[in-house]
Amino acid sequence: MMTLVLRWFDCNYRRVIYVLVVLCVLVPAFLTVRLRIKPAGATQGLYDAVEGIPAARRAAIAKLEAELTQSTNNHDKLTAHLQRLRMHTNGVLLISLDFDPSSAPELTPQAEIILRHAFMRGIPVVAVVVSTPVGAQLAQSIVDRAARETQGRYDIKLAGRDYVYLGYRPGYFNLILQMGEDISRAYATDYAGTPLHDLPMMQGIKNLNDIDLVAVVTGFVGVPETWIQVVKTKYNRPLGMGMTAVSVADYTPYLHSKQLVGLLPGMRGAAEYEMALDAPGAGTRGMLAQLASHVLIIVLIALGNALFFVQRRNRS
Partner 1 sequence: MLCIGCGIIMLLQFFVPLEFVQRDMLQWVNDSAIVVATFGLAIGLASLVHVHSTRIRRRARGWALSVVTLACATVVAVIGLLKSDWGPVVARSQRYDVLPNGVTAGVIEVTHTLFGYQTATVFTNTVTAAGVVPLQHRSVPMFDWFYNYIMYPLMSTVFALLAFYMMTAAYRAMRAKSWEAGLLLAAALIVLLGQVPVDQFVRLPAIDGVSLFEWLKLKILDYPNTAAKRSIIIGVALGGLATSIKILTGIEKPYLGGRG
174 near partner 1, judged by CB under 8 A: yes
310 near partner 1, judged by CB under 8 A: no
250 near partner 1, judged by CB under 8 A: yes
Distances (CA, A) of 30 to 24, 33, 105: 11, 9, 17
Q: By CB under 8 A, name the one of 26, 27, 156, 221 that touches partner 1.
A: 156
Rank residues 56 and 296 by Cβ distance to partner 1 and give the closer one.
296
Q: By CB under 8 A, name the one of 49, 113, 199, 223 that touches partner 1.
A: 199
Q: By CB under 8 A, name the one of 91, 242, 262, 265 that touches partner 1.
A: 265
How far is it, in rounded angstroms, from Cα 309 to Cα 183? 61
- Which range of residues in 67-75, 85-93, 114-122, 175-183 is near partner 1 by CB under 8 A? 175-183
First and final C-alpha spacing in the chain: 20
Torsion of the alpha carbons at 167, 173, 175 and 181, rounded to the nearest 10: 130
- Which range of residues in 37-45, 79-87, 109-117, 119-127 is near partner 1 by CB under 8 A? 37-45
Residue from 217, 210, 259, 262 nearest 240 by CA? 262
Q: Which of residues 267-306 bind partner 1 (CB under 8 A)?
A: 268, 287, 290-291, 293-298, 300-301, 303-305
How far is it, in rounded angstroms, from Cα 212 to Cα 201? 15
What is the per-residue binding string for partner 1 in 81-100, x denoting contact by CB under 8 A?
-------------------x
Rank residues 61 and 87 by Cβ distance to partner 1 and give the closer one.
87
146 near partner 1, judged by CB under 8 A: no
Distances (CA, A) of 89 to 92, 123, 178, 187, 200: 9, 9, 25, 24, 14
139 near partner 1, judged by CB under 8 A: no
Question: Shortest gap between Cβ of 55 and partner 1 (angstroms)?
Answer: 25
Rank residues 60 and 137 by Cβ distance to partner 1 and give the closer one.
137
CB 223 within 8 A of CB 216: yes
